[in-house]
Structure 1
Amino acid sequence: MTTAELRHRPPPSDDVPEPNSKADVTGPVLDTITGHPAGEAKYGRFRAFIRAVSFLVYFTSGCLTVHITQILGAPLYYLNRDLYYAYMSLTKASFGLLITTMTQWWAPTVIRISGDSSVAGQFSLTPDGRVQCAFPERMVMIANHQIYTDWLYLWWVGYTNNPHMHGHVYIILKESLKWVPVIGPGCMFLGFIFMSRKMAVDQPRLAHRLGKLKTRHADLDGKRYLNPMWLLLFPEGTNLSSNGRVKSAKWAAKTGLRDMQHLMLPRSTGMFFCLNELKGTVDYVYDCTVAYEGVPRGNYGEDYFTLSSTYFQGRPPKSVNFYWRRFALADMPLHDQEEFDKWLRERWYEKDALLEQYVSTGRFPANGAGIKGHIETEVRTKNWWEFMRIFVMLGVFGLIFNFMLRTFRILARR
């Protein structure tokens, strides 16, 4: 099924289950699934507790290490801004390695990738089975929001890119996260954008942050360049849930819009503003439709794939499925808010049709060009020892401090 065919699919019939209903699962793959999509818990209470403790020790120590490294490098802001941002991108890459390795070790899962002709040739497999992407160094990435950890898998995509982009990912977050110890200040150092969901308040913040992201720099030869940037947006505004689907259905009825089966109606205001601000410095929007294996029709991934289930009980998704498309900014109606709202909504109807195919068959459409079929890989790093990079920068600071302290003591004795 091509994107063009999806665009012309007829609207869902009137007998489609209500957004909140627990209709029977259909399709040859999902008919056989009962209970949790990932099956029975692999670990009992004691082993799950041990896994939880080890996970929290690793994640907490990694976060603290990254954050202390950020604080130690903060004075660079007043010495050289370009050097400061390059340094912070290294700390961001460290955090990207942290979340990749914690998923690799505690919640391994299959990643199944396909896409339409617009992304043909941009995926390849290495001899050891890892996927390599060839996405541009500057782009806006949009996706439907299924569960809270969507961003984790999409950040991993940056690690798979050639060149690596996991040090240049920017995410828009809820303002409340700013006050979470370590995580909030750490995200501020990483240049993430905090939103209150009130455009009057958020627009100046967005303009300020996006202004930095589109600033051109000069190298030693005087040549102008833009820093790499992957800006991740979730136009639905929040993850898919029963409450969100009900609100979306009510809004559709109120405004006379066609509702969706597997998604919520997207909000276009923030994305419209971002794209207009970045116009001229970004050429493409990459759209990823995300689906988690085994979630029954009318149910929601967040009810199954919790932190405890995924990382502690040994019940991560059996597969995380991506379907990629690419859209040129030059083809978007960025001159008019209403026209752009319609454009984005049409893309979401297409995504809803893609998800209907996935729920019915257990697969997104296969790749039509390049690698045939579906690319299957897993979340993992190239080398087992890469997690040590998280701690290298802090270790270097420790060695420098120790050297300076020893030198001072030697001089003080004279």
Structure 2
Amino acid sequence: MAIGAFFGLVFAQTPAVPLIFLNRRFYFRWCSFAMGYYLLMVTCLLEDLLGIKIIVTGDDLTKDKKRSLIILNHRTRLDWMFIWMLHSRFKILEQLKIVLKAELKRIPGPGWAMQHAAYLFLERVWEKDQTTIQNISGYYKSCQQPLSLLIFPEGTNLTSLSQKKSNDYASKQTSYNQAYNYCLHPRLTGFKYLLKTMREADILDTVDDITIGYEGNIPEAEIDLLKGSIPKTVHFHVKRYNIKDLPETDEEIGEWLQVCWEQKENRLKEFYTNNQFDIQSKRFNNEQIESKMRFKRRVAFILWTLFIAFWTFCIFSFIKIKFYVLLVCLFHLIMDTFANGIIDFVCQLDANYRHHQLKQPTRAIKQD
């Protein structure tokens, strides 16, 4: 996975950098396509190599690729990787973006690749994050492409320490209802601002509330997969809300999210008692879609393997390719140091362009 991300960054995404100045919309589409195909390859590793099964209940979104904000409980650090298996069925891997902590953007290879794919990185400093959300929402709108943005409203994954901190903090709030055992209390400020900004930018059709649960082992971190701690089955329960049905004010949105999380806590409690979110008859089960996805992800795995093998041969055979790889790494290190990353540079460039366009005088209409 790490090698594939690095090769995709160097030989698929970075060559598109000149398009930042020539055609940002096409740059966005190309980098999103490259990331989406990489994620499809990863689902092959998860499902066909590790043998992880998925079960989906709730709303069937396989025929409806809406612009969406996805909210998910954060059980482990790997939730965002397992949800790729779900979204491959919904055919939205290309349009999927994830809200992540800013430290991840500087990881050589995967972090730089996620920047090119326009993932949203937050510093957890509210003044900075407000500007970041505004700029990237404007960039999403400028690119005029379908978008699905995944956010973990809990802010961090579930551990004994984070659970205690979350319950202690929530107990001091006037809206406190109960201590949570299966998820953390959601953080309201960031979610409310993100929803409001996306709604005002008119880049949002739905909010998809997804609950994830694990049957068998629960890997807490990447190293656990290497140690063989692999879940037998990952369960997803999906509920879609039309943006028009959601409340308008910040206070009401916060209350709505808290109700969602109360329902999620109860749903997870039932799940870890019965190992299922819903009765058997309500499970998503479309063998035709499963067969197509199985074929597509295996083709993606073969092509990505050939892609890696070809460029590995070139790196070892040609000094110019070695020099090019070195330049790519230096370029991204410079962008991280002086521009806070390629994604911040692109968003600021796009914001400056939109500001310039707004200042252009309106042409007078000629009259006969």
Say whether the fold is shared (TM-score over 0.5): yes
**Identity within the alignment, %:** 26
User: CA contact under 8 A between 1:137 and 1:165: conserved in structure 2?
Assistant: no
CA contact (8 A) 2:77 2:220 kept: no
Structure 2 counterpart of 1:269: 189
Matching residue of 1:152: 81
**1:285 is aligned to 2:207:** yes
1:247 maps to 165
Aligned equivalent of 2:35 = 92
Paired letter, 1:64: F
Q: Does 1:374 align with 2:283?
A: yes
Cα distance in 2 for residues equivalent to 1:61 and 1:198: 32
The answer for the alignment partner of 1:198 in structure 2 is 125
Give the Cα separation in 2 of the matches to 1:60 and 1:170. Answer: 18
Find the counterpart in structure 1 of residue 180 from structure 2: 260
In structure 2, relative to structure 1, the CA distance for the partners of 1:390 and 1:76 (3 Å cut) is: farther
From 103, 113, 137, the counterpart of 1:176: 103
Kindly indicate whether the alpha-carbon contact (under 8 Å) linking 2:2 and 2:109 is maintained by their aligned counterparts in 1.
no
* Residue 349 of structure 1, aligned match among 262, 270, 288: 262
TM-score relative to the length of structure 2: 0.75
| Contact kept in structure 2, 1:62 and 1:98, CA below 8 Å | no
Q: Quote the residue 1:307 is aligned against.
A: 222
**Inter-partner Cα distance in structure 2 for 1:246 and 1:99:** 34
For each residue in 1:22-67, what CA deviation from the matched residue of structure 2 results, as whole angstroms up to 9, or x when unmatched?
A: xxxxxxxxxxxxxxxxxxxxxxxxxxxxxxxxxxxxx233122201
Does structure 2 conserve the Cα–Cα contact (< 8 Å) formed by 1:65 and 1:390? no
Contact 2:44 2:301 (8 Å CA) reproduced = yes
1:72 is aligned, of 15, 26, 36, to: 15
Q: Evaluate the alpha carbon distance shift between residue 204 and residue 392 of structure 1 in structure 2; reply closer, same or farther with a 3 A threshold.
A: farther
- Partners of 1:158 and 1:341 in 2: CA distance: 26
Partners of 1:252 and 1:64 in 2: how far apart?
41
Q: State whether residues 206 and 243 of structure 2, in contact with CA within 8 Å, keep that contact through their aligned partners in structure 1.
A: yes
The 3-state SS of whatever aligns with 2:64 is: coil
SS at structure 1 position matched to 2:294: coil
Kindly state the Cα deviation for residue 141 of structure 1 after the two structures are TM-superposed: 0.8
SS of the equivalent of 1:381 reads helix
Superposed displacement of residue 106, structure 1: 3.7
> What is the CA–CA distance in structure 1 between the aligned matches of 2:267 and 2:196, rounded to whole Å?
28
In structure 1, stretches of 5+ residues that fail to align are 1-58, 124-132, 218-225, 296-300, 406-414
Could you say which residue in structure 2 is the equivalent of 1:16? none
CA distance in 2, matches of 1:187, 1:292: 26
CA distance in 2, matches of 1:106, 1:314: 12
* Matched positions, count: 304
SS in 2 for 1:261: coil
User: How far apart in 1 are the matches of 2:113 and 2:300?
Assistant: 21
> TM-score, normalised on structure 1?
0.67
Q: Establish whether residue 339 from structure 1 lines up as the match of residue 252 from structure 2.
A: yes
CA offset at residue 291 of structure 1? 0.7
Separation in 1, partners of 2:111, 2:2: 14
Q: How far apart are 1:156 and its partner, in Å?
A: 2.6
Deviation of 1:294 after TM superposition, in Å, equals 4.2
The separation in 2 between residues aligned to 1:393 and 1:84, in whole angstroms, is 21
**Contact 2:100–2:121 at 8 Å: present in 1 too?**
yes
Map residues 41-52 of structure 1 onto 2, 5 A cutoff. Answer: none
Secondary structure of residue in 2 paired with 1:266:
coil
Which SS does the other structure have where 1:135 is aligned?
coil
Compute the displacement of 1:327 (Å). 1.2
Partner in structure 2 of residue 230 of structure 1: 148
**Alpha-carbon distance in 2 for matches of 1:208, 1:97:** 28
Give the helix-richer structure, 1 or 2: 2
**Could you say which structure has the larger radius of gyration?**
1
Q: Output the CA distance in 1 between the equivalents of 2:300 and 2:114.
A: 22
Q: What is the deviation of 1:182? A: 1.5
Distance in 1 of aligned mates of 2:303 and 2:270: 41
| CA distance in 1: counterparts of 2:211 and 2:49, whole angstroms | 24
